[in-house]
Amino acid sequence: MKTKQNSFILPDPLKEGDIIGLPAPAGIVSKNVVNRVVRIFKENGFTNLILPDISRTFRYFAADDKSRADDFNRMIEARNVKAIIALRGGYGSVRILNDVNISELIKKRIIFCGYSDISLFHTLIFNSRKLISFYGPMPGIDFSLKNMNSIKGFFNFLKNFSRNDITYSFKNDLKLKKAEFSGTAFASCLTLLQTTAGTEYQPNLSGSILFLEDVNEESYRVDRMLHHLLHSGILSGVKIIVFCLKGSESETGDLNEILDEISVKTGIHIIRGFRFGHLSPFNIIPIGSVCKVEIKGNKILLNFLLR
């Protein structure tokens, strides 16, 4: 189903019994974690799962590069697979970008979900301008007995996302002038987006609503990465940035100053207060959808058009 006002296609929602691939393209995943994830999927009506081979760990990766890519491709190429949800991020996706058959995933309109290191695969999908993907939870990290309500909400989302637009409301740290923005949603981990600068993977974000997040990054590193994005041209044409950082509270003042400086240099509004990614993975961002942002003082409304 094509979404409003752009070329990105929304994949079909899941039905109970659909085939789901759970790759581990980056960090190590333990057998206990996989068993817990499988149990939760089955309890929610999804029993047809394609699992990675986690027996061949290599350094801090789930397996060597070839094995991780082969596992991922096996899931993409599986007959009737409907969704691929990364088990976890960590580090390692950048090593297999050229080896994963993302074009086939796009052609088959497979649901794709993850965040953190998985941002790089979202970028490849986004660069095609053909398929909406979801910046959202990773079962190996985010599925636990403590958040079963959020997990059930996630499964409900996977089965019903084409029926309703996604809306979030939150308060910004600072009061802003009343304004409205509309553009194509793009979300990424800041660290991963800046690694694409100057490469064939660098996205064209002109006309985009940019959602940036990261975890445990000190202010000077955030400063450096944002300036890298500025100098590389990645921020050219971005309409507004929604920024979320999980880190030291003592650095909040420095961070606000840095964001203000970037805003002045680029002319781009930067707002904070919306939690997603590492800080709140169940607040899902549909990358490639049309996003409308409404600002009224310190109150912000986000509306992602999916119908």
Domain CATH code at residue 240? 3.50.30.60
Same domain, 152 and 172: no
Same domain, 173 and 300: yes
Residue 4 lies in a domain: no
Does residue 276 register a pLDDT over 60?
A: yes
Same domain, 213 and 284: yes
Residue 213 lies in a domain: yes
71 vs 54, 121, 168, 228, CA distance in Å? 10, 15, 35, 33
Residue 114 lies in a domain: yes
Residue 2 lies in a domain: no
For residues 155, 90, 201 and 269, what is the CA-based torsion angle, rounded to 10 degrees?
70
Does residue 184 register a pLDDT over 70?
A: yes
Does residue 1 register a pLDDT over 50?
A: no
Same domain, 132 and 214: no
Domain closes at, from 128, 160, 192:
160
Q: What is the pLDDT of residue 274?
A: 96
What CATH number corresponds to the domain at position 83? 3.40.50.10740
Average pLDDT value for residue range 153-159: 97
Residue 231 lies in a domain: yes
pLDDT tens-digit profile of 107-146? 999 999 999 999 999 999 999 999 999 999 999 999 998 8
Does residue 250 register a pLDDT over 50?
A: no
Same domain, 292 and 199: yes
Same domain, 153 and 55: yes
Compute the mean pLDDT over every residue in the chain, rounded to the nearest whole number.
Answer: 94
Average pLDDT value for residue range 1-25: 87
Contact 9, 130 (CB under 8 A): yes
User: Angle formed by the axes of helices 252-266 and 219-232, to 10°?
Assistant: 10
Instruction: Give the structural domain span for 288.
Output: 166-305
The residue type found at 2 is K
For the chain, the C-alpha Rg in angstroms (whole number) is 19
Average pLDDT value for residue range 87-112: 98
Same domain, 151 and 202: no
Total count of domains within the chain: 2
What is the dihedral sign for C-alpha 120, 286, 83, 12? Answer: negative
pLDDT confidence tier of residue 2, bands split at 50, 70 and 90:
very low
Residue 242 lies in a domain: yes
Same domain, 136 and 187: no
Same domain, 33 and 131: yes
Q: What is the pLDDT of residue 251?
A: 56
Q: What is the pLDDT of residue 172?
A: 81
Residue 260 lies in a domain: yes
Least confident of 26-40, 114-128, 174-188, 276-290: 174-188
Same domain, 139 and 265: no
DSSP 99: G
Distance CA 96, CA 25 (A): 8
The pTM assigned to this predicted structure is 0.95
Same domain, 156 and 171: no
Contact 130, 7 (CB under 8 A): yes
Domain closes at, from 160, 186, 220:
160
pLDDT confidence tier of residue 252, bands split at 50, 70 and 90:
low
DSSP code per residue over 125-139: HHHHTSB-EEE---H
Domain closes at, from 160, 181, 201:
160
Distance CA 128, CA 184 (A): 13
Q: What is the pLDDT of residue 158?
A: 97
Does residue 3 register a pLDDT over 70?
A: no
Residue 195 lies in a domain: yes
User: What residues are paired with 270 via a beta bridge?
Assistant: 241
Same domain, 133 and 179: no
